[in-house]
Structure 1
Amino acid sequence: MTESGVSLGRCHVHKRTVICVFFALIVLLIFATYGQIGNGRQLHRPNMENIQWPPSPNNLAESEPILSEQRQIVEAVKKVRILCLILTMEKDINTKVAAVNSTWATRCDKHFYVINSRQKRHDFLNIDVPDTRRTLVHKMRKAYEEIYKNYRNDFDFLLKADDDTYVIVENLKYLVWHHDADKPGYLGFHFNKFLKSGYMSGGAGYVISNRGLRQLVERGYQNGVCEIVPRKDDPENSEDIETGRCLELAGVPVWSSLDVQGRETFHAYPLEQHLFGNLPQFMFSWAKHPLKKGKECCSRYTISFHYVKPDAIYYLHHVLYETTVFGLAESQHRNEPVFNTS
């Protein structure tokens, strides 16, 4: 045996014992890191690009309750029952009615076209009243009475719209989900004219709670307090003004339809006119809330636009329901207030 071998074999009594132990530990550490003790094989090193990193515990704790709550809200909103009454005329069956029926109307839980027609369709509410501007209020009054008589238990909220209105029904449901259908109330694009509480634009569409419709009929029509008489400030007896008047007399208050940023959800004109602020001058003095243009014109959860031609109805519907921006849809819904329901 060599002198060095004798020295190594006696390292437990040699003054270099500490150094021997230190180097032995270093060798074991290196071997355990880069090879498997016992068979000498190299440890498996996965492709780092293919690793599916789990969210950090903090992210999981924060995101899972939010996602769960959002799913619950979505399911609850779907259960809100909307009955849509769409005012139209027989001459528009193959144009305006066809466009509305192919797009947003069927997203209502139940819908009827308020029409004076000889045709019989399951979605026609035939009202025997002539089609003139002066008779629209009578036409809608009979329609409301018919709904009260035969369908008052079939909806939570009732939407009245025109055949040139485009409605995003899902957003409408989301807005009214914040309200109690068993309490009287109605909302829409709010004009601050003619009445103490103002009235809602008929073309932009207005919504009445189930209790609100019951009071409209029971306290308004049946008690004779909503008589249609000539008025100097509204010689045509406009349907939306007279309906608003009767709702006010029947004790049905106005609810807000603004979002938390003060942006409108119902719109009395097409999107492009609100976007560029190209609106009739009377709108700026009649509107209850200051009108805005640009992206502030319209809520992210916008509900309606008026004076939309059939081709534009198809166009809007395609952009909204057949087009998706990658990566955007997943981040649209946030767990934060959306509407100003105060």
Structure 2
Amino acid sequence: MAGECITLENPSTYPGFHYNSNGFASGKYYRSGQRISTNRLVLLLLLLSSTLIVLYAYWDVMVLTAGTLPLARGTSSVDSMESGLGNESLAEKLYREVRVLCWVLTTPKYHKTRAIHIMRTWGKRCNKIYFMTSEPDDELPTVVLTKPDRYEVLWGKTKEAFVHIHEQMRNEADWFIKADDDTYLFLENLRYMLYPYSPEIPIYFGFNYKMVGTHQKNESYMSGGSGYVLSREALRIFAEGLNDTSKCRQEDDHAEDVEMGKCLFNLGVKAGDSRDEQLRNRFYPVAPFGALLSGNVGLDFWLYTYAYYNVRSCMDCLSEYPVAFHYVNSKQLYVYEYFNYQFQLSGRAPVVERLPKKIREEELVIPESDNPMS
């Protein structure tokens, strides 16, 4: 094998050199080294081939088993399956397609002790969020209302807030949810629940209560504590029909959620059923232990009495995809955040999630009350 030659000063330090009869090395060294025998060449090729085969096998196994690995919080195995989401997670798709404007009813004395903590927890997952109050705050996206900060005029504040949103912000979202400053919302689950419904359907959702006293058949209202969400069409109907004295209370007093229910019912907005497929509640007007622990209260507890749909307390009675809880203080907000957005359980199998089927308005069926208690 011909090659370029170089002369070495001390060729004895390099292996493979041959000395002549005078005891001197030939002084020539081929850059290509010694001639590689056929057997060694074959062994080298086999080694390289084996390495490539092992690397390919390792890559193949990793691809095949990727679906069995724990998924990051906020993603689902549906992302890489038939959903066609590509690199977009289910939560990201819903954030884009089911736009939710959140507004929180609060007062200046709770700006730093409640509202700011909502902004740092669940509020950051709203497409838009506003705090309805009586004074501005540089740390919060506030809307200053004209109504005074008194419990007796919550209905007046609620009317003013929804009218302002309709006039100024109705194009910012598809759904509009009202919450108190001691409420915790799971926005991902809310969007998932709303996905089948068009925002052009006049409907709203929350925790359904039976109307007390004289009322029309199937008339109900949603708990103000755990919040209620209006479609864009429901918001329009409410804002434009609010001044009809035969349908909506014009005074600012009385219970906000009751008057909201009466007004929407009279205006033809449907009170939707927010329960899951197993008829378990997703909105809950108390903290989780009230839904999970039987025997915590008696059967005469107000929740059991006034719930529109029959309520039970047990470990399987609350939906696996809850939307809202009430009576959550600012410290508990961060506990909810940790256990739902940071906590991981080793070995937990990923949940295969599929978007529910879209529901047309003519297909909408709202069950009647099944709570026999009065």
Please state which band the TM-score falls in when normalised by the shorter chain.
Answer: 0.7 to 0.9
Distance in structure 2 (CA, Å) of the matches to 1:114 and 1:224: 27
Report the secondary structure of 1:300's partner residue: coil
Query: Counterpart in 2 of 1:225?
Result: 247
Query: Counterpart in 2 of 1:321?
Result: 341
Determine whether 1:106 maps to 2:128.
Answer: no
* Alpha-carbon displacement from aligned partner over 1:211-251 (angstroms, at most 9, x marks no partner): 00100011233677312469xxxxx6100011111111111
Shift of 1:78: 1.9
Query: Counterpart in 1 of 2:331?
Result: 311
Distance in structure 2 (CA, Å) of the matches to 1:171 and 1:193: 27
CA RMSD of aligned residues (A): 3.3
Distance in structure 1 (CA, Å) of the matches to 2:197 and 2:262: 22
Determine whether 1:68 maps to 2:82.
Answer: yes
Alignment of 1:20-31 (within 5 A): none
Query: Counterpart in 2 of 1:210?
Result: 232
Query: Is the alpha carbon distance of 1:293 and 1:268 closer, same or farther for their aligned partners in structure 2, counting shifts above 3 Å?
Result: same
Query: Is the alpha carbon distance of 1:153 and 1:332 closer, same or farther for their aligned partners in structure 2, counting shifts above 3 Å?
Result: same
Query: Is the alpha carbon distance of 1:289 and 1:225 closer, same or farther for their aligned partners in structure 2, counting shifts above 3 Å?
Result: closer
Report the secondary structure of 1:204's partner residue: coil
Q: Which among 150, 163, 177 is matched to residue 195 of structure 2?
A: 177
Structure number with the higher helix fraction is: 1
Query: Counterpart in 2 of 1:275?
Result: 292
Determine whether 1:290 maps to 2:304.
Answer: no
Report the secondary structure of 2:343's partner residue: coil
Query: Is the alpha carbon distance of 1:208 and 1:225 closer, same or farther for their aligned partners in structure 2, counting shifts above 3 Å?
Result: same
Query: Is the alpha carbon distance of 1:255 and 1:168 closer, same or farther for their aligned partners in structure 2, counting shifts above 3 Å?
Result: same
Query: Counterpart in 2 of 1:334?
Result: 353
Query: Is the alpha carbon distance of 1:336 and 1:293 closer, same or farther for their aligned partners in structure 2, counting shifts above 3 Å?
Result: farther
Q: What stretches of structure 1 of length at least 5 have no aligned partner?
A: 1-38, 57-62, 231-235
Aligned residue type for 2:312: K
Using the aligned pairs only, state the percent identity: 27
Contact 2:247 2:266 in 1 (8 A): yes
Alignment of 1:1-342 (within 5 A): 52-53=60-61, 67-69=81-83, 71=85, 74=90, 75-79=92-96, 80-117=98-135, 119=137, 123-194=141-212, 195-196=215-216, 197-221=219-243, 225-228=247-250, 237-277=254-294, 278-279=296-297, 281-328=301-348, 331-335=350-354, 342=365
Q: What stretches of structure 2 of length at least 5 have no aligned partner?
A: 1-41, 66-76, 366-374
Report the secondary structure of 2:117's partner residue: helix
Per the normalisation by structure 2, the TM-score is 0.70
Report the secondary structure of 1:145's partner residue: helix
Per the normalisation by structure 1, the TM-score is 0.76
Query: Is the alpha carbon distance of 1:220 and 1:84 closer, same or farther for their aligned partners in structure 2, counting shifts above 3 Å?
Result: same
Moved more, 219-228 or 316-325: 219-228
Contact 2:197 2:358 in 1 (8 A): no
